[in-house]
Amino acid sequence: MGKSATPKLLPLLRSRQQGEILTRLLGDPEIEASVTDIAAMLDVPISSVHREIERAQAAGIVTSRKIGNVRLVRANTESPYYRGLADVLTRAFGPPQVLAEVLEAVDGIEAAYIYGSWAARWTEDEGNRPVADIDVLVLGSPERDLLYAALSAAEERLGRPVQEAVRPAAWIANGTGSFHATVVSQPLVQIDLGQD
């Protein structure tokens, strides 16, 4: 699954790479990663990551430290720009956008949502809540092999596991059981599948 159309925010940024690098760090503030790891996660040249990290650190939106020859980088959550910039970047390049891009090509999906710890942190502003994976609720009757391939591509781009739950199209309104009660009682972030 290749990368799709240019995000609408891109004219404000120099490149998709810049957006993805900054999103990886600001969108996940507990991550501290080496320049090499960021380059590998995003499949971009180390020189590009290094250049963007230099610019971001000069602007005060990331911090770094060295351990031996390894430079570790993380979001500067104390920056006055952190919260707003993290929000904008996550909307343009983060999990909702990545999942929208990969799920759009899977027939049979009526709707999709992110739920669980990522959705709770995103909607409730719980910056310290750990996020181990991204939970995705898929409503409809998708072809399972295509769905799993799409979610595998999302995992690769997001650098964390994506766990899916597939339910019938009307499940949010008509579902029962403890899983349903848990999901509908907590935040849901709708994934824009471009359906009208």
CA–CA separation, 22 vs 17, rounded Å? 8
CA–CA separation, 112 vs 165, rounded Å? 10
**pTM for the predicted model, two decimal places:** 0.75
| 189 vs 158: which has the higher pLDDT | 189
Own/partner long-range contacts of 177-184 (Cβ < 8 Å, ≥24 apart): 183/115, 183/137
Cβ atoms 106, 142 nearer than 8 A: yes
pLDDT over 70 at 135, yes or no: yes
| pLDDT for 160 | 84
How large is the average pLDDT for residues 140-150? 96
How large is the average pLDDT for residues 133-139? 95
Over residues 18-31, the pLDDT tens digits come to: 888 898 888 888 88
Longest dimension (CA), the chain: 56
Residue position matching structure tokens 């940024």: 13
Over residues 71-84, the pLDDT tens digits come to: 999 999 999 989 88
> Which domains are seen in the chain, by residue range?
10-87 (1.10.10.10), 95-190 (3.30.460)
Cβ atoms 167, 139 nearer than 8 A: yes
Tokens describing residue 114:
């992110």
Cβ neighbours of 2 (radius 10 Å): 6
Cβ atoms 191, 56 nearer than 8 A: no
Tokens describing residue 183:
């999901």
In percent, how much of the chain has pLDDT > 90? 58
CA–CA separation, 170 vs 165, rounded Å? 14
Over residues 58-112, the pLDDT tens digits come to: 989 999 999 999 999 999 999 998 988 888 888 888 899 999 999 998 999 999 9
| pLDDT for 72 | 96
Residue partners of 52: CB distance under 8 A and separation at least 6: 17, 18, 21, 22
| Average model confidence (pLDDT) across the chain | 87
The band of 3, judged by pLDDT with boundaries at 50, 70 and 90, is low
Element containing residue 163 per DSSP (H, E): strand 162-167
Cβ atoms 102, 133 nearer than 8 A: no
Reported residue count of the chain is 196
CA–CA separation, 135 vs 182, rounded Å? 13
| pLDDT for 1 | 46
CA dihedral sign, ordered 152, 6, 192, 32: positive
Range in 12-26, 30-44, 99-113, 161-175 with the lowest mean pLDDT: 12-26
